[in-house]
């Protein structure tokens, strides 16, 4: 929230050409972060084709539900800018990443908040840059991040140390693809309708639940 507020105030002092420069810089950053997440976790995956299945099934579900279209229409009721693109990118950057997921788990299990503080610092910088491009509306990503990390913290506190590392790797791989997809959209290379791909993040947890109960 602080970063979005600061970035929004700075937007008034930044000329359009510099805003566009920041815009494309964030596109490149999102693309690189996404590719890095995939490259970092794919070698550790015991199911190297699971992310492909996840993307295929999740994107099909998201397209049928028209998540991107519904989200864009909702945001346009309150903003005439391309805020929807900024929010979708920001939410993915804030929520999908090793620090964002490991932070609440380490805090819940061991009381170690190091990863959370590090992640918060990175999110502060990211939100400032995003808000300087998309405006104060980026502050709406804050409650989404709170609910996301709060849910992980709560589930970990209740379940204990039973969340497999393999599951976190699979979610990070799929999330990396989604972040890279957002980067392509920001750079005006290809709009892959990343929001329609969000259900892909649910496929790995479902797979691991079925694997646990069916023992395959």
What are the domain boundaries of the chain?
Answer: 2-214
What Rg value do the Cα atoms of the chain yield, rounded? 17
How far is Cα of residue 17 from the mean position of the Cα atoms in its chain? 27
Answer yes or no: is pLDDT of 80 > 70: no
Residue 180 and residue 46: Cα distance in Å, rounded? 22
Band (61; pLDDT cuts 50, 70, 90): very high
- Does 30 have pLDDT greater than 70? yes
Average pLDDT over all residues of the chain: 84
Pick the closest to residue 202 from 27, 35, 55 (CA basis): 55
């Amino acid at each position: 929230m602080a970063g979005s507020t600061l970035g929004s105030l700075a937007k008034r002092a930044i000329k359009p050409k510099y805003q566009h420069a920041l815009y494309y810089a964030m596109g490149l950053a999102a693309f690189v972060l996404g590719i890095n997440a995939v490259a970092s976790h794919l070698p550790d995956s015991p199911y190297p084709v699971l992310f492909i299945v996840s993307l295929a099934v999740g994107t099909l579900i998201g397209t049928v539900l028209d998540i991107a279209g519904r989200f864009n229409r909702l945001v346009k009721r309150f903003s005439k800018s391309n805020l929807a693109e900024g929010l979708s990118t920001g939410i993915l950057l804030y929520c999908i990443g090793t620090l964002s997921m490991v932070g609440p788990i380490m805090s819940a299990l061991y009381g170690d908040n190091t990863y959370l503080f590090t992640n918060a610092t990175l999110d502060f910088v990211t939100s400032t840059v995003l808000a300087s491009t998309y405006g104060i509306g980026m502050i709406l990503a804050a409650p989404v991040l709170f609910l996301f990390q709060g849910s992980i913290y709560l589930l970990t506190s209740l379940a204990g140390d039973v969340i497999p590392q393999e599951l976190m790797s699979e979610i990070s791989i799929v999330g990396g693809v989604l972040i890279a997809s957002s980067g392509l959209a920001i750079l005006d290379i290809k709009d892959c309708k990343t929001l329609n791909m969000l259900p892909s993040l649910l496929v790995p947890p479902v797979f691991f639940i079925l694997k646990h109960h069916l023992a395959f």
